[in-house]
């Protein structure tokens, strides 16, 4: 499975701690990403100064469930901070 985590960069340390706890060593990270979601826009300008980070993680089904459970826990800890997880199947890997 592929999990995309899109989150406010203010909780970057907590998200990376989540990966470490689950022994997930491999991922791709985009920093300072612009976006508009359910919370305040993160456009990196004077009006909307926030920015997001994005992680793309390819893992097995068991770890996918663990990530989602931990993301839900982080959402409860930081209810006013944007954090979303998207899960997609990986059809082929070359």
Q: What is the CATH number of the domain that holds 67?
A: 3.30.70.120
- Tell me what pLDDT residue 39 has: 73
- Residue 94 lies inside a defined structural domain of this protein: no
Residues of the chain with pLDDT under 50: none
Contact of 2 with 62, CB cutoff 8 Å: no
Per-residue pLDDT tens for 5-25? 999 999 999 999 999 999 999
Number of domains in the chain: 1
Nearest to 85 by CA among 18, 34, 13: 18
Per the structure, the complete domain to which residue 83 belongs is given by: 2-88
pTM value is 0.89
- Residue 77 lies inside a defined structural domain of this protein: yes
- Tell me what pLDDT residue 44 has: 83
- Residue 93 lies inside a defined structural domain of this protein: no
- Tell me what pLDDT residue 41 has: 82
- Tell me what pLDDT residue 37 has: 80
User: How many CB atoms sit inside 10 A of residue 81's CB?
Assistant: 17
Classify residue 91 as exposed, middle or buried by CB count within 10 Å of its CB (0-12, 13-18, 19+): exposed
């Amino acid at each position: 499975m592929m999990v995309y985590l899109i989150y406010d960069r203010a909780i970057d340390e907590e998200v990376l701690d989540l990966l470490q706890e689950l022994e997930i060593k491999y991922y791709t990270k985009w920093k300072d990403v612009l976006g508009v979601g359910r919370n305040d826009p993160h456009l990196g300008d004077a009006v909307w100064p926030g920015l997001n980070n994005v992680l793309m993680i390819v893992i097995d089904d068991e770890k996918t469930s663990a990530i989602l459970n931990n993301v839900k826990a982080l959402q409860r800890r930081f209810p006013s901070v944007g954090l979303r997880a998207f899960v997609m199947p990986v059809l082929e890997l070359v």
